[in-house]
Structure 1
Amino acid sequence: MNWDCLIVDDEIELAKATCEYFEMFGVTCAFVTNFNDCVLFMESNSVKLILLDINLGNDSGFELCKALRQKTDIPILFISARQSDDDVLIALNIGGDDYIKKPYSLSVLLAKVKVIIKRYEGAAKKSGRSDTVGSEDQEKNNYSNLRIDKDAMKVYRDGKDVGFKTKEFKLFLYLYENKNRVIAKDELFKMIWGDAFFSDGTLNVHIRKIREKIEENPNQPKYIKTIWGTGYMFETGENE
């Protein structure tokens, strides 16, 4: 069966209330309460978005996220009462797309979910088309050791695939295609995630992971520069 959203949360009443609220506004929603039930659910159903709690009784939402990321790239939003920055960073580093702290507003959560689902559906439609522009999809440049294959959504450093995840590639490519231009954070949120609900932490973690994969020294980046108070810029050192 096809669902818009799956909630994985051991707070049954909250999960049930959230599902009922989503259904009122046309978002099909199911919920499970633990690691194993989520795995079984995903084997026989398809979803466009997962809302995942960290504390799942004896199970860990972090471990479940890692397991899911071995099989799927669908958006995963953590929902948790845990407030520490360490938890947020762990969630984003292991593949979470955002972190929502409990208690949350159902109306704001619904708005976020709708935007992400719309974005996901748009990306799925695009992936079903063949948008080929010939050899230009494999770009080589004269200023670096990087090669970009847009069709395969891969970036190579010194001939080796750096292993970008989908969001990382999209963010890298947007910065690259707008090289030598300062890009505001709001623009990146809109163009990559499809809305402005995501936190600075989400963007910062993705930038850091990209730097770790393409830069010789991520702490002194050559390509992706931070423009404090504004955003980021992919700098080539050339006027193109």
Structure 2
Amino acid sequence: MKYQCLMIDDDITIAETTAEYFNIFDIKTAYVTDYDGAVSFLKENQVSLLLLDINLGERSGFELCKQIRAEYDMPILFISARTSDDDVLTALNIGGDDYIKKPYTLNILLAKVKAILNRYEKAAEAAIAVSAKAVSAGTGKDMREIRITKDITLDTGAHKLYRDGRETAIKAMEFKMLLYLLSNRGRVVTKDEFLKNVWEDEYIGEGTLAVHIRHLREKIEKDPNAPDIIKTVWGVGYIIENMEE
């Protein structure tokens, strides 16, 4: 069964109330209250977005996030009463897309979830459009496969990333960001340009952009902490330099 949102929170009152509110506004939402329940639910259902608490009884939402990231591709919004910077950074560094602090207002949370669902749907559509544009812009050369390095290629037709001949999962927004960098190879892409032309949302924070860049690096760099492909130009933006033949 398909759900737009899954609420994972060990406080049954919060989980049930939030799911009920979302369903009233046509965001099909279910809830579970523990780690194992979340794992089982995801195996049996298709979910577009997760709302994940850090404290899940004896288990951790951080631990669950790592497991989900290894198997699924969906936005994960952490929701927690824990407000330390360390918790926020940990959540983002292990694959969370945002961090919402409790207590939250249901209508504001709903608006954020709707915006993220809409953004990811648009990203998938835009990725198709961008790849088609890249193909049509080719000067008589087949642009379906773009070689990033001798071992890494991006298939713009199938929207797939290959590393050492093996497919590597890539999100729609990550695909769009990588293709944009490749289309502007040898030129610094500023953060503002990314937000305007790729995200098409100038209100996205630079932190969210940095998290997605980090996720991309984890997929294509030998050492994401010392990147050779997607390089940072401090205070300006990012660049993929021209490939040496």
Short-chain TM bin: 0.7 to 0.9
Check whether the contact 1:225–1:234 (CA below 8 A) recurs between aligned residues.
no
Residues 211 and 221 in structure 1, CA contact (< 8 A), matched pair in contact too = no
| Number of corresponding residues | 232
Which secondary structure does the structure 2 equivalent of 1:204 belong to?
helix
2:9, 2:32 within 8 Å by CA — same for their partners in 1?
yes
Superposed counterparts of 1:196-235, under 5 Å: 198-211=204-217, 213-214=220-221, 218-219=225-226, 221=228, 223-228=230-235, 230-235=236-241
Aligned alpha-carbon RMSD (Å): 3.6
Superposed counterparts of 1:2-81, under 5 Å: 2-81=2-81
Question: Residue 111 of structure 1 corresponds to which residue in structure 2?
Answer: 111
For 2:227 and 2:96, locate their aligned partners in 1 and report how far apart those are by CA, in whole Å: 26
- Cα distance in structure 1, aligned partners of 2:126 and 2:194: 19
- Give the superposition deviation at 1:114: 0.9
Report the 3-state secondary structure (helix = DSSP H, G, I; strand = E; otherwise coil) of the residue aligned with 1:10.
Answer: coil
Q: 2:89 and 2:46 mapped to 1: Cα distance? A: 27
What is the distance in 1 between the residues matched to 2:106 and 2:119? 20
TM-score of the aligned structures, taking structure 1 as reference length: 0.75
Question: For 1:152-175, what per-residue CA distance to the aligned partner results, in whole angstroms no more than 9, with x for missing partners?
Answer: 52154xx56694642544422222
Range with greater deviation from structure 2 (16-25 or 119-128): 119-128
Q: Distance in 2 between matches of 1:94 and 1:192?
A: 23
Q: Which residue of 2 aligns with 1:90?
A: 90
Q: 1:223 to 1:59 in 2, by over 3 A?
A: closer
Identical counterparts, % of pairs: 46
SS in 1 for 2:233: strand
In 2: Cα distance, 1:221 partner to 1:68 partner: 28
Q: Secondary structure at the match of 1:224?
A: strand
Q: Secondary structure at the match of 2:49?
A: strand
Offset of residue 38 of structure 1: 1.2
**Structure 2: stretches of 5+ with no match in the other structure:** 136-140
| Equivalent residues of 2:217, 2:227 under 8 A apart | no
Q: CA deviation at 1:234?
A: 3.2
Q: Hey, which bits of structure 1, 4+ residues long, moved more than 6 A? A: 124-128
TM-score normalised to the size of structure 2? 0.74
Residue among 153, 160, 185 paired with 1:153: 160
What is the correspondence of 1:151-190 to structure 2 with a 5 Å cutoff?
151-156=158-163, 159=164, 163=168, 165-166=170-171, 167-189=173-195
Aligned-pair distance for 1:54?
A: 0.8
Q: What is the deviation of 1:227?
A: 4.4
